[in-house]
Structure 1
Amino acid sequence: MRQQRGDHAFTYAVDVVTDTSRGVTDRFRSMPMAGSAVVAGRSVADMARAATDLAALVLCGLAVGWSPNGSLGATLAAIGLLLLLRFALIWVGIYIGLLLRTPESATALFPLILPFAMIANTFVAPSLMPAWLGHAAEWNPMSATVAATRELFGNPGIGGETWAAGNPVLMAILWPAVLILIFFPPSVRRFQTISR
């Protein structure tokens, strides 16, 4: 399995299609194991790596003076929401990677995935965007997680006009759950039936 270059669905798609094109996936499929074991194993390994990366990030933040203003429980919930979104995006990437045939075709998807990261409340308040773009940003799964973590860390949020913006913690749970329900089952089925 290749070293990943980032932490988003695009990266997972590239990694999965590279493994498939190099025959790694076929070798796993020839072993006597459940069809879900390989894709589930990949997601668990990526989550372990994500938890380690996030722990290092939090420790570095604490070392330079950052501190959450919320309770310990709220802080742990915020970290959990970050990992939950990561887990959902892993499954999106796995499914896309299993659909593609070459790493180059996965690379071509980058411009399609970029808006997901950029049309969000991460860097700019949706109220400062054109109305239609601001509403799209408020319904973005990433915006939900960003707003929820800000709220749980005890930092005032930027709010918004939509129901999603008013319920960020709930949306930060619902969006990943929906993405997992959409992409996990077909990922397992695709892995079981893939023929390259």
Structure 2
Amino acid sequence: MSATDTREVSVYAGASILFGRVLTNYRNSPGLFAITLAAPLGMMLLFGFVFGGALAGGGDATAYRAYLVPGVLVLVAAMGLTSTASTVNADLHSGFTDRLRALPLSPAAAPAGFALAETVVGVLALALMSGAGYLLGWRVDATLGEVAAAIALLLAFRWVLAWLGIALGTAIKDEQALQQAAPMIFGALMFSNVFVPAATMPTGVATIAEWNPVSAIVAALRTLLGSDPAASAGAWRTQHPVLAAWLWIAALFALSAPLAIRRYASSA
């Protein structure tokens, strides 16, 4: 067997170990999964039904809910960042990561399995939230191809954030510090167009929201699902939201994957 074959087996073995372990962890601790859904679902109910009429300018709140749900779906995918970071950090403190490093595995194997498992969990979370949105009156005005493209975009974003979560969980070794950083991360996600268009915000805040990667994914999803009232206006990234979203995903992956592999293999 060549060196290349050995490396391929090692990548598969390590990815399989982490994939199965993460899914087992969620099955044994369903509260972790519930926490991922609780905040976005609460916000969808709050903004869609309590504030919906006001945010719709006194108009049809149903139209606002159609605008809101794609943003909440992206928020669900984005919140997986903190859950991934917390799980990786817990593995560091339990010694599980050290045991993995003792095995003849490729450095990319364990993080890849971790990211894949978190993405699979994200599929279930996004499916449940989509069902909740449907029950609340959200409908998709798109072709089958556009829906498939929207699903691919959401899963790619969740995949990239899993890698970023691995890097974050290994970089912040103090568990309490990571817990304190979680609200800050959530706050950063909120500086986006999830709930209202960036154009309605003060100039400085609007600039931050427009350059937030979350805003790019949300704008692309709304365009693909037919619920973006302001597409093809403004800057280039606004005129081409889907392309801009994929460029953000590629850039985040190029930054986070090598960092996650290096930190996971060497952090102590």
What TM-score results when the alignment is normalised by the length of structure 2? 0.67
Tell me if structure 1 keeps the 8 A contact 2:219–2:228.
Answer: no
Q: Does 1:124 align with 2:193?
A: no
Which has the greater radius of gyration? 2
Letter in 2 for 1:120: S
Tell me which residue corresponds to 1:76: 148
Paired with 1:101 and 1:60, the residues of 2 have a C-alpha distance of 36
Letter in 1 for 2:122: A
Paired with 1:166 and 1:140, the residues of 2 have a C-alpha distance of 16
Residues matched between the structures, number: 195
Paired with 1:115 and 1:59, the residues of 2 have a C-alpha distance of 26
1:1-196 → structure 2 map (5 Å cutoff): 1=22, 2-3=25-26, 4=32, 5-6=35-36, 7-62=79-134, 66-159=138-231, 161-195=234-268
Tell me if structure 1 keeps the 8 A contact 2:85–2:167.
Answer: yes
Identity %: 33
Letter in 1 for 2:190: M
Q: Deviations along 1:158-187, whole A, 9 cap, x unmatched?
A: 356333222211111111111110010121
What TM-score results when the alignment is normalised by the length of structure 1? 0.90
Q: SS at 2:108's partner residue?
A: helix
Q: Deviations along 1:16-37, whole A, 9 cap, x unmatched?
A: 1111011111111112211111
Q: Deviations along 1:24-82, whole A, 9 cap, x unmatched?
A: 11111112211111111000011111122223333454566543111000011111111
Tell me if structure 2 keeps the 8 A contact 1:120–1:143.
Answer: yes
Instruction: State the superposition RMSD in angstroms.
Output: 1.9
Q: CA deviation at 1:12?
A: 1.6
Q: Deviations along 1:105-131, whole A, 9 cap, x unmatched?
A: 211212431232111111011111101
Paired with 1:154 and 1:176, the residues of 2 have a C-alpha distance of 21
**Structure 1 residues 88 and 53: alpha-carbon distance in aligned structure 2, compared to 1, 3 A threshold:** same
Paired with 2:139 and 2:148, the residues of 1 have a C-alpha distance of 13
- Structure 2: give runs of 5+ residues left out of the alignment: 1-21, 27-31, 37-78
Q: Which range moved further: 163-172 or 143-152?
A: 163-172
- Structure 1: give runs of 5+ residues left out of the alignment: none
Tell me which residue corresponds to 2:29: none
Tell me if structure 1 keeps the 8 A contact 2:80–2:122.
Answer: no
